[in-house]
Structure 1
C-alpha cells in the first residue's frame, strides 16, 4: 500500500474552514488527557484504555497540518481517534494496530454509510468445550453469543463492525463483576465468581437494543471526508511505502506493564481468540507482560536515558529486578526503537510527528519516557520543535498497593512534537 497526497477538494476546504472557526481561542493549551466521560468523536461507544481526547486530536491536526491535506499516520491507532479526527478534517489517514478489537471499533467510528442491523441468528449447537467465552459464560449463554459472533463476522464490514461492537458492549456489561480495581486486568470464572447465565431471548433483546442505540448515535454523528485506511499490523512492520507520510499523531503504549490482550480478553473471546491458549497476539503487543526470547540487542542500541533506566532496573534490590523486570523493560525498549525506525522510514523529509507519552515509575526509579522517545527520535533524524508537559494526578501505580510502598514524585504526560530532517 502506498499513501498519496491528493488535491484538496472544495468540500474539504470548507470543512477545514468550519472546523477552524469552531475552535475557540484558549488562554492555555488544551490537555490531551481524555475526560472521564467523552462523547465527542463517538469515543464512548467503546472506551479504549489510554489514548487522547478526540477534541485534542482534532485541534492538533488542524493546527499541525497548516491547511494542507497531507497523509496522517497513527501507528498505534487503538480505537481510531486519530483517524477519525483526520477524516473529520478532510485528511487522508492510515491507522495501524495489532489488536483486532481496536480495529473493529475504529472501523465503526469511521463508517460513513448507515449500517443495517443484524437480526437474531438461528439457534446453534452447544459451543465447543474449549470456547474462550466459557471463561465467563455458561455453555448455553456462550453458545448463543457464539452464534451472534459467527453471523456478525460473516457480514459486510459496516454491519460486522456494528454488530461486533454491540457484542463487545453487552459482554462487558454482563461480566462487570469480573473487572477489578485495575482497569486493565480481567478475572475469570472461579468458585466464588460463577459463570454468567442469561436466557437466549433476553440476550437477543439486549443485543438488538444495543445495535439500535449505536445506530442512532452513528446517524447523529457527522463523518465526512476520506475514510481512513485501517490495517491490522504491528508498528514494527508498517505496511506502508517509504517516504509517504506527512504527519504522525500517536500515543505509543507506555512502559507501565499494561497487558492489552488481558484488558480486552473478553472482546477477543467474542472474536474466537483465547489469549491463554493462543499466546501469539499477547506476546507481540507492545508493552506485554509476557517475555519473548531475549535477543542480543539488550542495552546496545539505546540512547543515554534509556540506558540509565536499564541500569537502574538491573541494579534495583527488589525481587526479580535483574530477571523478569529487566527483560520486560528491554523488550519494550526494543519494540519502541524498532517502531521508531519504521516511522522514520515511512515519513517524508519535513514530516511532523506528535507523540503523547506518559512518564511512570519502576518501583522508585523514574521512567522518563518522554525523554527516551525524544532521544531515540533525535538519533533517527528527528529534531524536537516543542515539548509540553501536563501533570497527571492519577496513574495505574496509584491503584497498586505494592507500588505505593516506594516513594515517587509527580508524573507528567508530555506532548512531544518532532520534525523529520
Structure 2
C-alpha cells in the first residue's frame, strides 16, 4: 500500500510525556498520541486529522472490558475515522460510531471491513455518469470539465454496481483526488484552496485516471484481505453529537476525542472528498455549519447555554482581548463551540448507563496568547452533569498548527497539554 498519500498528518501535534508533574509517563502509561507513521488498524490508508492511536484505544478498551464486562457497548460520539469502533471490533466488543461528516464515516467503514463486496474490475464506459454530472459540479473547483465527467462516470458506475458508493471504491477515489490536487494545499493543510480560473484546473487523461483508480482499488482490497477482524455488531451512523440516535441508558463505555477549540474547519479540510460524495460546501453551507468547531457562525445560534466558571472565564478573556474582532466574531465562534460541547455532554449523559465510563482525549490550545484550558472545561462541565473525575493523564504537546500560522507566532505561548480524562457516572 502506498503510504505517501498527502494527508493532514504532517500537521498533527507530537506529544512528549513526562514534562508535567505527576505525568503518566512516570508510571509507564502509553500515550494516546498517534505515531508519525501508523499502519496499525489501517490508519495510514487515509489519515484523518486528530484522534488517537489504535494501539492505545485497544489497550484502553481491553482494560475497560475487564471491569465492565465483555458484553459492554462502546460509543464514540465524535468517531472520526473510526479508531474507537475498530479497536472495539478487534476485541469482539459491540460499538457505535457517530459522526456528522460523511467522509469520516466512509473511512471508518473501510477500516472495519470483514468481507469485500464485488469491485469494478474495469473502467466504466465514457458518458456513464452523464445523468449525474452538472455544470456546477463541486469537483469543478479543482478539475476540468472533462476530468470531472470521467470522475462522475466512476461514481455513477460504482453506485449502480453496489447500490451505494461502497467504502473501498470511495476511499480509492479519495486517495487519488488527494494526491493529484496537492497544489491546492497551502502551509495550513486544513485549508484547501479552490481553482481561481479554468486554466488552473487539473486535467487528467481518462485512461490515466482509470488506471490510478483501479490500482488503488486493488491495493485497498489486498490490504483488507490481510485483516483478521471478528464479525461483531459495529454500527457507523451519520448523525450529530448533540442529537444521538440512541436510547437512554444504553451505553457502557465512551471513548472519544471531541474536536478541539483550534478553529479547524473539517468541511473545508475535506472539501474534495465531500465533493466526491456530492456535497458542495461552497453552494450549500448546511453541512459545514453543522460541524463542531466550524469557522462559520450559525445565524440561528442564540448561545443560551449556561457554562461553568472555567468556560465563562475563557469567554471573558477572549472578549477582552485587544486584537481585532475578539469581542465579535471570535467570541461568537468560541460560544458556538462551547454550546456544541455542552450539548454533546448532555447527550452523553442521557445515553450512558449508571456507573458507565467516559474517556475524553482533549488538547489545550491558545486563542492568540489566551490559554484555552479545554481539559479543565470538560472536567468542569462534566462534573456539573453528575460525572465524577477518576483520572487525568497529561502529555505535553511540542508542536501544533499554531506553528504553521505565521501571524499567530507573534503571540507568546507556553506548552500545552493533551489530556486523557476518565470520568465515571455517579
Report the TM-score when normalising by structure 2. 0.90
For residues 12-411 of structure 1, what are the structure 2 equivalents within 5 Å?
28-66=28-66, 67-118=69-120, 119-124=122-127, 125=130, 127-156=133-162, 160-190=166-196, 194-293=200-299, 295-298=301-304, 301-411=306-416
Q: Secondary structure at the match of 1:44?
A: coil
Tell me the distance in 1 between the aligned counterparts of 2:413 and 2:321.
Answer: 15
Shift of 1:188: 1.0
Q: Secondary structure at the match of 2:167?
A: helix
Call closer, same or farther: CA 1:192–1:358 in 2, change over 3 Å.
Answer: farther
Call closer, same or farther: CA 1:159–1:233 in 2, change over 3 Å.
Answer: closer
Q: Work out the number of aligned pairs and report it.
A: 396
- The C-alpha deviation readout for 1:353-387, integer Å capped at 9, x for no partner, is 00000000000000000000011010111100001
Tell me the distance in 1 between the aligned counterparts of 2:406 and 2:341.
Answer: 28
Tell me the distance in 2 between the aligned counterparts of 1:258 and 1:326.
Answer: 16
Tell me the distance in 1 between the aligned counterparts of 2:330 and 2:165.
Answer: 43
Tell me the distance in 2 between the aligned counterparts of 1:220 and 1:194.
Answer: 40
- The C-alpha deviation readout for 1:1-43, integer Å capped at 9, x for no partner, is xxxxxxxxxxxxxxxxxxxxxxxxx961111111111100001
Deviates further, 115-124 or 349-358: 115-124
What's the counterpart of residue 7 of structure 2?
A: none
Tell me the distance in 1 between the aligned counterparts of 2:41 and 2:199.
Answer: 36
Q: Secondary structure at the match of 1:189?
A: coil
8 A contact 1:294–1:327 mirrored in 2: no
Report the TM-score when normalising by structure 1. 0.91
Shift of 1:312: 0.2
- The C-alpha deviation readout for 1:39-97, integer Å capped at 9, x for no partner, is 00001111000000111111111012215230000000011110000000110000000
8 A contact 1:111–1:227 mirrored in 2: no
CA RMSD of aligned residues (A): 1.8
Q: Secondary structure at the match of 1:393?
A: strand
- The C-alpha deviation readout for 1:170-189, integer Å capped at 9, x for no partner, is 00001011111212111111
Shift of 1:158: 8.8
8 A contact 1:136–1:195 mirrored in 2: yes
Shift of 1:294: 5.6
Shift of 1:155: 4.0
Tell me the distance in 2 between the aligned counterparts of 1:267 and 1:389.
Answer: 34
Tell me the distance in 1 between the aligned counterparts of 2:270 and 2:200.
Answer: 20
8 A contact 1:65–1:247 mirrored in 2: no
- Of the candidates 401, 413, 419, which is equivalent to residue 418 of structure 2? 413
Q: Secondary structure at the match of 2:203?
A: coil
Tell me the distance in 2 between the aligned counterparts of 1:42 and 1:390.
Answer: 25
Q: Secondary structure at the match of 2:93?
A: coil
Shift of 1:235: 0.4
Call closer, same or farther: CA 1:45–1:157 in 2, change over 3 Å.
Answer: farther
Tell me the distance in 1 between the aligned counterparts of 2:359 and 2:167.
Answer: 29
8 A contact 2:354–2:425 mirrored in 1: yes
> Which segments of 5 or more consecutive residues in structure 2 lack a partner in the other structure?
1-25
Call closer, same or farther: CA 1:271–1:43 in 2, change over 3 Å.
Answer: same
Shift of 1:114: 2.2
Q: Secondary structure at the match of 1:63?
A: helix
Call closer, same or farther: CA 1:413–1:154 in 2, change over 3 Å.
Answer: farther
If asked which structure has higher relative contact order (CA below 8 Å, sep 6+), I would say 2
Shift of 1:115: 2.8
